[in-house]
Amino acid sequence: MEPPQLIRIANISGRYLVFDPDAVSALRRKANTNGTLVGTTPQQPTQNIFLGLPIELRPEEVDALIRTNVAYVVDDVAAHQSALQSLDHDSRRAYISSLRLRKQTAHKVFAEMNAQKASIAAKKAERQRDSTSTPASTNPATPDDLKSDGSPFSRNSQVTLLGVTPTSSVNYVSPNAHALPVEPRNSEQGSLCQFMLGNGYYMTPGLRFGARYSVYPGDPLRFHAHFMANEYGWEEEIPILDIVGGGRLATAVKKAFLIGGRPPSTSPDTALPAVRSFSIEWAGM
């Protein structure tokens, strides 16, 4: 990807977050990375069933994106503080103008919707008047008296009360401000994730299946997971109960249990690390 197309990942209190919906879409389509939705809506701040933006990325996913030159990490707090302190009068005026333009656009859309509703209501009232042959003086409502949406408030009052809350600060924070020189970690942890992502798989947290990752052959919205995966160090002893339990559980839910790790002799600097993996399936079930 070209440098202007690099995806901005915000580092906030050690968590890697992506707020831009276009960046989230690009991650899903081009980098096999969907992350985990962790945001709530302003109208329902306590809801925890259908979460929204931002998405949170695991450290190993961020490592994979940096290695493949897809994204970069920014200290988001420092970037915002610097932008607010150095924001000159012209920049502030331009930002306020952009907010006003967005509000005017929302007003226009809202007015068009109200005009369409008023036209439909007027035609409906006219058909009712023609069908009942009721004199105009006794008609319960005329087109001039109809409200745009049936509420006791007029259209003008609704437009006046309409406000736009910005959901992103890209208009006044420089995209490349305070980019962190994050180097991919030279450790065995995360190599399996990078290896699977590099081979076109999608990965989500696999806690509900008793594993570290759920591995999908394509977008999780279209496919079921094929593997439940755990990563181990090359010299790490793997408890036999982990293999038995993981194999039985994965097979019971029609998946295979995958374990893997990176040999210590291989170089971690490559975009796709060499990983030795094994697929375990419990027979006779």
pLDDT computed for residue 231 by the predictor: 93
pLDDT beyond 70 at 240: yes
**The whole model's pTM is what?**
0.71
Asked if the model's pLDDT at residue 14 lies above 60, the reply is yes
Mean pLDDT of the chain: 80
Instruction: Break the chain into its structural domains and give their ranges.
Output: 1-87+176-185, 89-161, 186-285
Q: Is 232 a catalytic residue?
A: no
Rounded-to-integer distance, Cα 224 and Cα 254, Å? 10
Round to whole Å and give the CA distance between 21 and 250. 33
Which positions ≥6 away from 160 have C-beta within 8 Å?
none
pLDDT tier at 95 (50, 70, 90 boundaries)?
confident
For domain 1-87+176-185, the question of CATH label 2.60.120 is answered with: no
> Which residue among 72, 201, 202, 216 is the active-site one?
216
Assign 32 a pLDDT band (cuts: 50, 70, 90). Answer: very high
Cβ atoms within 10 A of the Cβ of 238, count?
Answer: 13
219-236 pLDDT, tens digit per residue, is 999 999 999 999 999 889
Residue 152, pLDDT > 60, answer: no
Q: Sorting pLDDT into bands at 50, 70 and 90, what band is 135?
A: low
pLDDT tier for residue 151 given thresholds of 50, 70 and 90: very low
What radius of gyration, in Å, describes the C-alpha atoms of the chain?
27
Query: What is the CB neighbour count within 10 angstroms for residue 35?
Result: 20
**Among this protein's residues, is 178 annotated catalytic?**
no
| Residues 6 or more apart whose Cβ sits within 8 Å of residue 144 | none
Higher pLDDT, 201 or 129: 201
Q: For the chain, what percent of residues have pLDDT higher than 90?
A: 34
- At residue 73, does pLDDT exceed 60? yes
With a CB cutoff of 8 Å and minimum separation 6, the contacts of 40 are 46, 47, 48, 51, 52
Q: Does 164 or 244 have the greater pLDDT score?
A: 244
Catalytic residue flag (residue 255)? yes
Instruction: Tokens for 130, please give them.
Output: 């023609």
Residue of 224, 226, 232, 254 with catalytic role? 224
The CATH number fitting domain 186-285, selected from 3.40.50.2000, 3.40.1350.10, 1.10.3720.10, 1.10.287.950: 3.40.1350.10
Per-residue pLDDT at 149: 46
